Amino acid sequence: MNILKFESQQKLNEAGAGILAGLVQTNPRVVLGLATGGTPVGIYEELVDTHRKGMVSFKSITTFNLDEYVGISTDHPESYHAYMNHHLFSHIDANPARIHIPDGNAADLKQECERYNALLDDAKQIDLQLLGLGHNGHIGFNEPDHALMSGTHVVKLKEETRSANARFFNHIDEVPTHALTMGVGTILKAKMILLVVRGADKAEIVHQALTGPITTECPASLLQTHPHVVVLLDSESGRLV
């Protein structure tokens, strides 16, 4: 596990974008696993800037997003479809046919999970999976539990997760109670994992995830078993490691 700490958010963003852009430049047909939330925004901004400068093309990449809320439309401003279009896809030359995000409005959610798993199987392997880290150690929307699902599945969100995400909505009552998420097994199959964490409020869970016991009660701790993890931390989130 390669842990890098940055004194400025800009340097962290540049490092994250540099890893992603460099991979695309090396392998234009790369398969990327993408994340949402506040953490990757600056990295996506840097990627867009790199593309606008003509330094990288995304036209041949394939992407799989980690998750999506259940029960809100794809054009809802807080859906992850809308998030990805706003922060990345509408600004780059990625082929929409190669962009994959779970459908949280599918009539049959179990069938949707099976469809998404089949797409992932067809892709063989994600070359790089971008991850953030939840306050309770979740990755994707894989919440702490006595056991974790390997493939894409429906998950009931913990109240601490809904509370953390309430800042994106007008009221916590608007935060969905369920989501579709890529499973931990799929995440761990990626050739490389890029974990990005920011903020003093994440310092304790960073320490637990990266140095504590490996347990499904802290899903991110399972990253310790992966052979190629790069961790980007700001000075506050990394103060205990």
The residues assigned a catalytic role are 67, 136, 138, 143
CA 150 to CA 8: how far, in whole Å?
Answer: 35
How would DSSP label each residue in 183-230? -HHHHHTSSEEEEEE-SGGGHHHHHHHHHS--BTTBGGGGGGG-S-EE
CA 57 to CA 176: how far, in whole Å?
Answer: 35
CA 14 to CA 24: how far, in whole Å?
Answer: 15
Amino acid at 158: K
Strands 178-181 and 153-156 turn out to be antiparallel
In terms of Cβ atoms closer than 10 Å to its own Cβ (0-12, 13-18, 19+), residue 117 is: middle
CA 111 to CA 117: how far, in whole Å?
Answer: 10
* Closest of 96, 19, 107, 99 to residue 64, by C-alpha: 99
What are the φ/ψ torsions at residue 93 (nearest 5 degrees)? -100, 30
Token pair 């809904």 is at which residue? 162
